[in-house]
Structure 1
Amino acid sequence: MPLYKTLQPNSQTTVKIWKITESYNDLFQAVSLKPENLKRVLGMKSELHQRGFLSVRHLLSTFGYTDTDLFYDDNGKPHLKDGKHISITHSFTFSAVVVSDFKVGIDIEKQREKIGVIAHKFMEYEFQYLKENEPDYINRLTVIWCIKESLYKLFATPGLSFLQNTLVIPFTIKEGSTVAWIDYENKKHRFQTQFFEFEGFTCAYALPA
């Protein structure tokens, strides 16, 4: 069953993860797309991206939605016609959707050593507690990236900087949760974040604290 995992962090929020094992044709034949999205998926050069896009439509159906229930604003943030909040992510062979009564953000990333090369571009404060020689350095870096990406999707404000406007409170992988902040235009916003690892990937999602 491609529906890999379902989580319910609270009674108003549901997270669903899809493991993309199907072929492009199998995914394509089982969904109905709006004309603009049909054009979009047919124009994608990467089959991996096509399968990711289509798997998200399959996830929508598990929530009882169709492609026509989803739309995007001028900032690229997804919305649902019924007013519920949604966030979407896909990475390689996994995709995820979270639907909530609250503003929410989610991200999945594959754990890769090369994230260490760009660490200085997305974090500063976090170097106070995260050191390169730690055995779980790459895993924790990936958590931080996923959390910050989730915050970015939730906040949906052009010009928000991972480096300058977001910070993640110290955590361990075993804890599976931490607090994160957005400090933007002299206002501080606090968020509760949860994260977990599976099959060489990391998933994190953020909700208002």
Structure 2
Amino acid sequence: MDIRSFQQDLRACLADTLGGEDDLYDESKFYQVKKLIDRFNGREGQTDSDKKWTRKVTDVRNWFLFSASERWREDNQEKEYYSDSAGKSGGQKEKLAYTILASALAYQFGLEWGETRSKSFRFVMIDEAFGRGSDDSARYGLELFSKLNLQLLIVTPLQKIHVIENYVKSVNLVHNEEGKNSMLRNLTIEEYHREKEAR
């Protein structure tokens, strides 16, 4: 109820404010916005409840409910059903998150499954997404991104490079010895493999 009410308040703040010359941002609009900002800041005597409300309504994960059915391709039998990620193992949650991310990217870029040529620029930066998860789940996500022909820039700790090395063409190693001077080395994946074997 809080989320729906907050969304309605946001829409009311923006209604009739943009567009033609007759649209005015008048004093009543100012007070609608001020009411929300006051609640974000914590009203006198209601600071704790307002902080709790703010955390709830500004976390967009609370804005949507979802369900998903994972099916076997061979016979369309249901393998797994998700009604959010509650009750799932860490690996299942990771795979679900990667599937949702890949689906969102496919939708955003207008991608077709199996399409090999496209004029669209499909660049995605992934910052430490694979740092805490399992190697299997990370490979699952990388396979999905590969099938969508996405160009990836992956930022990851060196300990996780073994997970991504089959999915990248070059490696940029950043090293900061004793926290004084950062050094950057650019290597093709082949050069990286040769150096790794020589160690």
TM-score (norm 1): 0.25
Higher percent of residues as helix: 2
Higher percent of residues as strand: 1
Structure whose CA Rg is larger: 2
Say which structure, 1 or 2, has more relative contact order (CA 8 Å, 6+ apart).
Answer: 1
